[in-house]
């Protein structure tokens, strides 16, 4: 019997994608044959970049960093429905803090009960434990230096976007 092909989705808003996300992706690549970064279209969150822009920026990163088995696309609706459509075996989630653990645990239990899909958690590296896209947007809007927290091409796009929005 051959090795089972294992596909996972890593859902998120990725607005913008951070080095913390990339840390989880790089470690997830060792666990799965295919990892789909699923950019959610959230009507609730106040977003800086459109889902299309986020997919474009992430696709550029995947190309630059030569990440085999990693792809990106956006999706609407429930994550579990998207996972089923993609025939994903797992949902990958990154954990930064105890607060994340409580929320993610509840979500994982619900996803398993509703759709029978398992969630795999990866603890983010210590240096990214405090990083969130929301915090990144906040620091960027106040002119803070984020060069060590997000990839350079994303940082440049973020600075351009904030310049435009101030005009």
Rounded average pLDDT over 148-163: 90
Per the model's pLDDT, the better-predicted residue between 121 and 47 turns out to be 121
Task: List active site positions.
Answer: 21, 45, 96, 133
pLDDT in tens, 30-73: 999 999 999 998 776 678 899 999 999 999 999 999 999 999 99
Domain spanning 7-166, CATH class: alpha beta
Q: At what angle do helices 51-64 and 152-166 cross, to 10 degrees?
A: 150
Rounded average pLDDT over 94-99: 87
Residue with tokens 């993610």: 104
Give the DSSP letter string of 56-107. Answer: HHHHHHHHHTT-TTEEEEEE-S-HHHHHHHTT-SEEEEEE-SHHHHHHHHHH
For residue 122, pLDDT beyond 90: yes
User: Could you tell me the residue ranges of all domains in the chain?
Assistant: 7-166
């Amino acid at each position: 019997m051959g090795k089972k092909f294992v596909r996972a989705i890593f859902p998120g808003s990725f607005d913008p994608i951070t080095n913390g996300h990339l840390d989880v992706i790089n470690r997830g690549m060792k666990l799965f044959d295919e990892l789909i970064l699923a950019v959610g279209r959230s009507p609730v969150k106040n977003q800086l970049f459109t889902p299309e822009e986020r997919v474009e920026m992430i696709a550029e990163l995947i190309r630059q960093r030569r990440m085999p088995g990693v792809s990106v696309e956006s999706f609407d609706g429930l994550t579990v429905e998207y996972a089923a459509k993609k025939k994903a075996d797992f949902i990958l989630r990154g954990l930064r803090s105890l607060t994340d653990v409580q929320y993610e645990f509840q979500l994982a239990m619900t996803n398993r009960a509703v759709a029978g899909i398992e969630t795999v958690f990866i603890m983010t590296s210590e240096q990214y434990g405090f990083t969130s896209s929301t915090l990144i947007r906040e620091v960027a809007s106040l002119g803070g230096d984020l060069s060590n927290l997000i990839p350079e091409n994303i940082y440049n796009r973020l600075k351009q976007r904030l310049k435009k929005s101030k005009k």
